[in-house]
Amino acid sequence: MRADFFIRRLQTFGPAIVLALAISAVRAEQAFPLSQLDLSKVQQGWGDPHANQSVEGHALSIGGQTFTNGLGTHAYSELLVNVDGNAEKFTAQVGVDDEVGAGRGNAQFEVLGDGRLLWRSAVLHGGDAPQSADVSLGGIKQLTLIVSSGSNNIDYAHADWANAEINMRAGAPEAVSPPQEPAVILTPQPSPEPRINGTRIFGVRPGTPFLFTIPATGDRPMTFGADHLPKGLRLDSQTGRITGELKKAKTFIVTLHAKNALGEAQEQFKIVCGPQIGLTPAMGWNSWNCFASAVTEEDIKAAADAMVKSGLINHGWTYINIDDFWEVNPHRADDPTLQGPQRDAEGRILPNPRFPDMPGLTAYVHGQGLKIGLYSSPGPWTCGGCVASFDHELLDAQRYAQWGFDYLKYDWCSYKPELESHRGHSAEFVKQLGGWSGSTPTDRAQLMRPYAIMHAALEKQPRDILFSLCQYGMGDVWKWGAQVGGNSWRTTGDIRDTWSSMSANGFGEAGEGKYAGPGHFNDPDMLVVGYVGWGPSLHPTRLTPNEQYTHISLWCLLASPLLIGCDMTKLDPFTLSLLSNDEVLAVDQDPLAQQASRVADDGTQQVWAKDMEDGSKAVGLFNLSRSDVKVVAQWSELGLTGRQRVRDLWRQKDLGEFSDRFETTVPPHGVVLVRMWPVK
Ligand code: GLA
């Protein structure tokens, strides 16, 4: 009876109950403003994320429209939000904040669901009207909100996710940190038998001191030999150092030997005596990404010691470079170690008290078989406000050469074209400048001028000084950096140890490869692996292990200068393994000096490839998403036909032969780096 009664009641009221449940479900759907999530989880290229304000702390404003709610960030920016399959949709009005001014900055907004691209905005600029995003999230577990710069320059990319909301059917969205990964060492231990590593081609100008240390791994004691060494050069068979001087421009083919109790290795080595130096990208260390303004002479000596003691010298690492803050800094009166006379009576630059003996320091570094570099700016002040080279270029170049320096990083900062009309009597004008902010002209001749002046001064020196341009990519420097004698030129703003910064700098190099070649390279900035921190306090890199593999692989494919940015005295085994894989480093140091091109890009996976001198190809299969994906390198995209032998370079293992494509699963933000040889 009772059951019958219930069934009848259900037949009568059933539809009404279903309706009521549906209404309550609709009511349960709730909109969560993005600004209420834990924004400390946002990774971004510059500044801090702000709730309901722009990155600079102003009211959110896009194309003249203001918004009271939203997230103000800066490209490259990334936020992971767990929605556990309960989200309905994501909505926002996006654009570049009006605080940057009309026409400035580029920002491209992307919404990813479980690693797949769901929505992408146009590349937006300051002053553009906001673009609406209305993205359905049915079934998605994790949402990723990305702002890239749409180019490799993140300047002024102040990005607003205005009125951004996630609509949930149940539960609440949660901002999360990127997952933790174990640091798995892939590089095999170097073999005890001799192996000659590093560059196979070396440029030197006639009449300059020659120094090349044969980089070789294998058990010690080891002895070295060199067949057909040209007259004027000599080899120390115990240290493997080749020194001397070549008088005339000519190319020499030498055979290098390295021998120990277990065997002997030999390699061809081409010495090109002529106008061009730095034929393959510089490999070394620079003080900025660890010590920044805290750098001292002791740090430089310790880095040189560690380069030798760690064995990295045996893999081709050569330069020990002092960045900013070896000079006197009148803007930092609080710090006595930065004070003193700026120049001597003849106008020659003087180091600050932290660097009491420059010739002694260069001799120390050269004595280890290494080379040494330093830093200046074409304006009156460096980026840190130290004394720089404006109106003293020739004197400074002479001084660097006399001291024994081998590398100059020349950083735009306080330079302005207006300075040029004050040469010879610049002191008054410089005083009027007050601070040390430079300007960013668009005129190419104005951009080239200060670099051409310093290059001419360096050319006059009886010493080879590698010339590294730093001006963050202004005026498409890659199109003319070689014309002003640049051995490399920074294409981007300063790198940081975040995925957003590193990936924007590295992947942003697409399209610039045709401007690189032997002796002149694009430079997406220094490496951020190991203990970094811009001094004095340091921390382990915030890049995940896979991101670090991506960093090194990409920089090698790009034939970028490789300048280690970490504290060399704190090299852990994982970092060391990243910096000592000879098959990977050979991609960077290949004599063809080709920069890889991006041959495939679907938003979450990219394939980059470059030709190697021996007819093989180096190919990087990259995963830019947060989950494992299968990445495919198609022969049609690589310009290959026929069977290829494929070798995994990090693991140094052959993977087999493949006939029209190579595909593999790549971990989140990771890479598989391979080399392919045609099967004869
Ligand atoms: C600029 C450069 C950095 C570093 C500092 C030094 O920011 O881009 O690499 O040299 O100046 O002040």
CATH of the domain at 628: 2.60.40.1180
Q: Looking at residue 2, what is its pLDDT?
A: 46
Sign, CA dihedral 124-128-130-132, equals: negative
Do the beta carbons of residue 156 and residue 107 sit within 8 Å?
A: no
Please tell me whether residues 405 and 550 are part of one structural domain.
Answer: yes
Residue 591 lies in a domain: no
Centre of ligand 1 to C-alpha 289, Å, is: 9
Ligand 1: centre distance to CA 502 (Å): 16
Co-location of 538 and 604 in the same domain: no
Q: Interhelix angle for 444-459 vs 393-403, to 10°?
A: 40
581 domain residue, yes or no: no
* Catalytic (active-site) positions: 411, 494
3-state secondary structure 334-358: CCHHHCCCCECCCCCECECCCCCCH
Mean pLDDT by 10 residues, the chain (680 residues): 47 53 59 97 88 98 98 92 98 98 93 90 96 97 88 80 98 91 96 98 98 98 98 98 98 98 98 98 98 97 98 98 98 96 97 98 98 97 96 98 98 93 81 75 96 98 98 96 98 89 92 96 98 90 96 98 98 98 98 98 91 98 90 98 98 98 97 97
* 587 part of a folded domain: no
Three-state DSSP string of 362-403: HHHHHCCCCEEEEEECCCCECCCCCECCCCCHHHHHHHHHHH
Please give the structure tokens belonging to residue 552: 């090194």
Residues 268 and 295 in one domain: no
Quick one: pLDDT at residue 295?
Answer: 97
Shortest CA distance to 269 belongs to which of 250, 256, 278, 283? 256
Q: Please work out whether the CB of residue 155 comes within 6 Å of at least one atom of ligand 1.
A: no
pLDDT for residue 151: 59
The two structure tokens encoding residue 46: 């510059």
Q: What is the pTM of this model?
A: 0.84
Do 237 and 312 fall within a single domain?
no
Judge if 229 and 199 occupy the same domain.
yes
Instruction: Identify which of 155, 288, 332, 526 to mutate to test ligand 1's pocket (most ligand atoms within 8 A of the CB).
Output: 288
Confidence at residue 6, expressed as pLDDT on a 0 to 100 scale: 45
Asked if 361 contacts 372 with a C-beta cutoff of 8 angstroms, the reply is yes
* Of the residues 176, 207, 224, the one at which a domain ends: 176
Question: Where does residue 148 rank: exposed (0-12), middle (13-18), buried (19+ CB within 10 A)?
Answer: buried
Supply angle C-alpha 14, 17, 18, rounded to 5: 90
Residues 489 and 79: their CA atoms lie apart, in Å, by 31
Residues 102 and 159 in one domain: yes
Is residue 408 situated within a structural domain?
yes
* Cis upstream peptide for 531 (omega within 30°): no
Ligand 1 in reach of 411 Cβ (< 6 A): yes
Contact 293, 557 (CB under 8 A): no
292 part of a folded domain? yes
**The pLDDT of residue 13:** 54
Q: Which helix (H) or strand (E) holds 546?
A: helix 545-557
Whether residues 119 and 202 fall in one domain = no
Which of 244, 273, 302 corresponds to the end of one domain? 273
Same domain, 411 and 500: yes
Task: Write the single-letter amino acid at 396.
Answer: D
The structure tokens listed for 174 are 């949660």
- What is the extent of the structural domain holding 248? 195-273
391 belongs to a structural domain:
yes
Ordered DSSP codes for 254-275: EEEEEEETTEEEEEEEEEEESS
Say yes or no: 557 and 630 in one domain.
no
Question: How many domains does the structure of the chain reveal?
Answer: 4
**Cβ of 382 less than 6 Å from ligand 1:** yes
Distance from Cα 266 to the centre of ligand 1, integer Å: 40
Q: Which atom of ligand 1 is nearest to the CA of 526?
A: 9
Q: Is the CB of 470 under 6 A from ligand 1?
A: yes
* 142-148/108-113 β-pairing: antiparallel
Domain boundary among 176, 207, 227: 176
* Position 251 in a domain: yes
Quote the distance between the C-alpha of residue 315 and its chain's center: 20
Query: Which residues make Cβ contacts (< 8 Å) with residue 200, sequence separation at least 6?
Result: 267, 268, 269, 270, 589, 591
Distance CA 467, CA 163 (A): 48
Report if residue 22 sits inside a domain.
no
Q: Ligand 1: which residue has its CA nearest to atom 5?
A: 383
Task: Specify the CATH number for the domain of residue 525.
Answer: 3.20.20.70
Distance 412 CA to ligand 1 centre (A): 9
Locate 237 and state its tokens: 């068979």
Tokens of 342: 């700026």
Q: What's the CATH number where 58 sits?
A: 2.60.120.1060
Count of all residues that appear for the chain in the document: 680
Q: Are residues 462 and 560 in the same domain?
A: yes
Residues 126 and 146 in one domain: yes
Distance CA 498, CA 550 (A): 12
Question: What distance in Å separates the CA atoms of residue 55 and residue 154, rounded to the nearest whole number?
Answer: 13
The DSSP bridge partners found for residue 87 are: 168
Query: Does the beta carbon of 523 sit less than 6 angstroms from any atom of ligand 1?
Result: no
Q: Are residues 498 and 464 in the same domain?
A: yes
